[in-house]
Amino acid sequence: MSRRPFDPRRRALSRILLAWPLAALAAADEKQESSPRAGCLAATEPGLSAEERTRLEKSIAEGEKPLAAIRDFTLPPDVAPSLRFEAMKSKRR
């Protein structure tokens, strides 16, 4: 069974070319919902205009995604801690 190489016909090419900009528009229209934390942090910042506040809220929301990936990463139980806590000696006696 041999596979045919991709040989697009005119009709298939026209569908692809027409769908390409529509897919880009659909991706651009997706609104990024901000998290409650981002909204709270942006609201507590004094002296910002509404545009600056929404820009800050979006940047906080974008920064939370990579942090969530790091926080969700789990290590296997055989990995030792990177440092150990040692209490300092008390100066009182």
* Structure confidence at residue 7 (pLDDT): 62
46, part of any domain: yes
pLDDT of residue 28: 55
Range of the domain at 66: 32-71
pLDDT at 3: 64
Task: Please report whether residue 63 resides in a domain.
Answer: yes
Report d(CA 64, CA 33) in Å as an integer: 12
Number of domains the chain contains? 1
Q: Is the backbone of residue 47 left (phi > 0), alpha (psi -120 to 50) or beta?
A: left
Q: Could you tell me if residue 3 is inside a domain?
A: no
Q: Has residue 53 been placed in a domain?
A: yes
- Decide if 93 is inside a domain: no
- Residue 64 inside a domain? The answer is yes
Beta carbons of 88 and 62 less than 8 angstroms apart: no
pLDDT by 10-residue block (mean), the chain, 93 residues = 64 75 64 74 86 88 84 84 83 76
CA neighbor of 58 nearest in space, from 41, 71, 72? 41
Q: Does residue 23 lie in a domain region?
A: no
pLDDT score of 78: 87
92 in any annotated domain: no
